[in-house]
Amino acid sequence: MKTWFDTARLGMFVHWGHSSVRGCELSWSLVGGVSSLPYCGNVPVDEYHSTANSFNPQDYNPLEWARLAKRMGVQYAILTAKHHDGFAMFHTQQSDFSIQHSHYKKDIVREFIEAMRSEGIRIGLYFSLIDWHHPDYPAFTEADKPYTFGQWRQPTDSQWQRFIHFMFDQVRELLTNYGKIDLLWFDGAWERTPEQWQATVLHDTIRSLQPEILINDRLPPLGDFSTPEQLIPPQPLQGVWETCMTINDSWGYNCGDTNFKSARQLIHTLCEVAGKGGNLLLNISPMGNGQIQPELLERLVVVENWMARNSESIIGTMPALEPWQFYGPSTRKRDRIYLHLLMKPYETVSVRGVPIKRVKSVSVLADGTRLQYTTRCAIVDTLFSHPDPLGELTIQVPESAIDSYATVIAVDFIPQLNTDLSASNRT
Ligand code: GLC
């Protein structure tokens, strides 16, 4: 089934919780860290939870985030409604461990949804199945450190029954109190079995409440799309996929982590992901006061400006050429292909195995500047006047055409019914 998500290409992930007050990694610092989060640190469990009450992000302005997202071309935004630390960023009747009982009091999830919706951005909610705070989960304690995969303290049967009830009720609240939710992003299923999670029943419940919702693949065995993390898959994945990625090496606001990717790296990642037919879910980590830290904003503004010139080559596109046809990611919309130049060309770039007689024009996407090009094909094709030969297109790329982040060249073809510009799909 085709959905809006298939070609959305850019989403915004927001990892936020009361841990942002301390500036330590969200949830993972309370269990003492994990090797894939090099700046995580180890915060004593009680100390970690102690900022739940004082959390009071007075500068939280989700409309600003929504406007920034909109300007960046973001199609959907996902907020951590509840992360592994169990703190609900929404009003819940199921426990007191929520934003309702903090200094801030207002429903952060509601404010986020309303702001994003007002800018026409689709809504996703992240929900952690793990709950390191709930007594029936059971809660993670200092004695459980170090966090060891496979060695999770298990609940008794009656504890688990109560927990499942609680968890289902929170999911129900999220799916009934806020209107249409476009996407539900589960996480943390690894600590229990699909049977323990009652995965199939949970899926059915979700679909009965929100028939059009998309659900990620982190509540096995079901899922509408796959979710590689922190990397671009070497080969395009089967089916619909989305890779989530942080700008530094932490998910939540972590003042000790300054290992930021450059804006150029983020733009290149976006081009590569789109060229492989996936979506990039780019993470931001608001600080304890509700502001986005300057180092992130700086980069997002560069992405925004680049997208103002080039989003046509990303949003709503399909992958175009095979890797052997062009040295870089390429995307397409109808009879136009977009070549993403992630390295500076030496005078020219070449595209191979394309219908050269139908090349109509070649231009720089950002400003429409026409580029000179030549084409050639095998002599036999010329001699026998092949009506639609495949050949090589060589494009002149002057210094003046080069964008310092990533240059996008648009190649327009004269349309023909049922054409496919990727050579391997031609018969
Ligand atoms: C991991 C982490 C978590 C993060 C998520 C995002 O599963 O546990 O902190 O929210 O990845 O993909």
pLDDT tens digits, 307-360: 999 999 999 999 999 999 999 999 999 999 999 999 999 999 999 999 999 999
Q: Pick from 36, 251, 279, 285 the residue to mutate for probing ligand 1's pocket: most ligand atoms within 8 Å of its CB.
A: 251
Q: What domains lie within the chain, and their CATH numbers?
A: 4-313 (3.20.20.80), 320-425 (2.60.40.1180)
- Compute φ and ψ for 26, nearest 5 degrees: -60, 125
pLDDT of residue 319: 98
Residue 415's pLDDT is: 87
pLDDT band at 427 (very low <50, low <70, confident <90, very high): very low
**Residues 419 and 335: beta-carbon distance below 8 Å:** yes
251 lines ligand 1 (CB under 6 A): yes
Residue 25 Cβ contacting ligand 1 at under 6 Å: no
Read off the pLDDT of residues 21-49 as tens digits, 9 standing for 90 and up.
Answer: 999 999 999 999 999 999 999 999 999 99
Q: Is 111 in the pocket of ligand 1 (CB under 6 A)?
A: no
> pTM (2 decimals)?
0.96
CA of 61 to the centre of ligand 1 (A): 24
Closest ligand 1 atom to 252 CA? 9
Helix (H, G, I), strand (E, B) or coil at 214: strand
By the 8 A CB rule, do 21 and 55 touch?
A: yes
CB contact at 8 A, 321 and 340: no
pLDDT at 62 over 90: yes
Q: Using the atom order of ligand 1, give the atom closest to the CA of residue 187.
A: 7
Q: Taking all residues of the chain, what is their mean pLDDT, rounded to a whole number?
A: 96
Q: Using CA atoms, how far apart are residues 387 and 393, in angstroms rounded to an integer?
A: 17
Please tell me the distance between residue 41's alpha carbon and the centre of ligand 1 in angstroms: 16
Q: Is the CB of 244 under 6 A from ligand 1?
A: yes
pLDDT range class, residue 122, cuts 50, 70, 90: very high
Nearest ligand 1 atom, CA 34? 8
Alpha carbon nearest to ligand 1 atom 9, residue? 251
Name the residue at shortest CA distance from atom 3 of ligand 1.
251
Provide, rounded to the nearest whole percent, the portion of the chain with pLDDT above 70: 97
Distance between Cα 142 and ligand 1 center (Å)? 21
Task: Count how many Cα atoms sit within 13 Å of the Cα of residue 317 in the half-sphere of its side chain.
Answer: 34
| Pocket lining: 13 vs ligand 1, CB cutoff 6 Å | no
Contacts of 9 (CB under 8 A, 6+ apart): 75, 270, 273, 274, 278, 279, 280, 314, 315, 316, 317
Helices 199-209 + 157-176 axis angle, to 10: 20
Per the CB < 8 A criterion, the answer to whether 242 and 225 are in contact is yes
